[in-house]
Amino acid sequence: MQEYWELYMKPIDGNIASVLVNAGISMELPSEDKFYVGFIKLTMKTPNDKGLISADEEAQLSFIEDKIEMESLRYRIGSYVGRIVSDGVMTFIYYLKHDFEWPDVVQAAMKEFGDYTYEYGSRTDGDWEIYHKLLFPTAIEWQIIQNHKVCDHLKSQGDSLHLPRAIEHKGYFPSSELRAEFMSQIEAEGFKIKNVMEAAENNPMLGLSFYRQDKPFYYDIDTLTLRLIDLCIRYEGSYDGWETSIVKM
């Protein structure tokens, strides 16, 4: 199983949630031997005011997580695919080859932590619905993840992120007519066209690069890219990310 973990935030049932997911296994699905999903819902002792992990409890929760993983490997029962932290509860999610030993795994892992309250269970999920619909990021969530990675890189290079500069974006569209309509819309919003790309042998879509003076700060770039995603979808296209230069104070 490939290991490629992503941590991101999303709303779940009206509460903010921190989601950790092994995105690497998405390339291997559907799984041929793991038809059950098992979970452990652990009530945290000292969540922060947002219902997420506090600094005081982080080390202990990490120890519990490692212990559960150790027992699952000992029983050779399945794969750890992610966890959700929300509203004071940490939920560990596994996909299992079979589920009749899942209670043994949970009890073996949790016997050292009698001061924690938890519940567990399992059910069939051959289509990996929980993974796809609850853990794996949507297209918008993926964009925010990528936004923040770029922001983190810029910040690590001494960029304050608050200074406006040219930010270049790309989009792809199925026809020249739809691309032209999109171009008219973004030009009305202050963007300038940099390059118009024709279809290539390995990509039948028609490309477009465009730019505007904006701030790449986290919330600003999230708002901007979500707006551009919506516009691209309106014209049957797809948004393909952004890039910019480092600007220091």
227 shares its domain with 105: no
Q: Are residues 231 and 114 in the same domain?
A: no
Looking only at the bridges linking them, the beta strands covering 15-22 and 192-197 are unpaired
The tally of domains found in the chain comes to: 2
Cα(80)–Cα(105) distance, integer angstroms: 12
**95 and 163 co-located in one domain:** no
Residue 115 burial (10 A CB sphere; 0-12, 13-18, 19+): exposed
Give the list of residues 6+ apart from residue 113 with CB closer than 8 angstroms, or none: 64, 67
Domain assignment present for residue 116? The answer is yes
Sheet with 192-197, side-by-side order of all strands: 192-197, 206-214, 165-173, 238-244
- Domain membership of residue 102 (yes or no) is yes
Residues 13 and 112 in one domain: yes
Domain match, 131 and 143 both: no
In terms of phi and psi (left: phi > 0; alpha: psi -120 to 50; beta: otherwise), the region of 88 is left
Domain stops at, among 83, 108, 135: 135
Q: Write down the residue that tokens 């923040």 correspond to.
A: 148
Ranges of the chain with pLDDT below 70: 1, 29-30, 201
Of 108, 135, 162, the one marking the end of a domain is 135
* Whether residue 164 sits in one domain with residue 73: no
Please give the Cα distance from 233 to 178 (Å, whole number).
Answer: 11
| 105 and 181 housed in the same domain | no
- Verify that 108 and 152 share a domain, yes or no: no
Of 135, 153, 180, at which residue does a domain stop? 135
Q: CATH number, domain at 218?
A: 3.30.70.970
Asked whether residue 218 is assigned to any structural domain, the reply reads: yes
31 and 13 belong to one structural domain:
yes
CA atoms of 216 and 2, how far apart (whole Å): 32
Which of 66, 80, 68 lies closest to 109 in space, CA to CA?
A: 68
CA gap 42, 69 in Å, rounded? 15
Cα distance from N-terminal residue to C-terminal residue, the chain: 44
For 108: left if phi > 0, alpha if psi spans -120 to 50, otherwise beta; the answer is: alpha
Q: Does residue 200 share a domain with residue 175?
A: yes
pLDDT at 199: 77
Q: Is residue 249 part of a domain?
A: no
Please give the pLDDT value at position 134. Answer: 94
Tell me: do 109 and 146 sit in the same domain. Answer: no
User: Do residue 58 and residue 81 come from a single domain?
Assistant: yes
CATH number, residue 105 = 3.30.70
By residue range, what is the domain housing residue 107?
5-135
Cis check for the bond before 103: say yes or no (omega within 30 of 0): no
Q: Is residue 212 part of a domain?
A: yes
Is 43 within the bounds of a domain?
A: yes
Q: Is 178 within a domain?
A: yes
| 147 assigned to some structural domain | yes
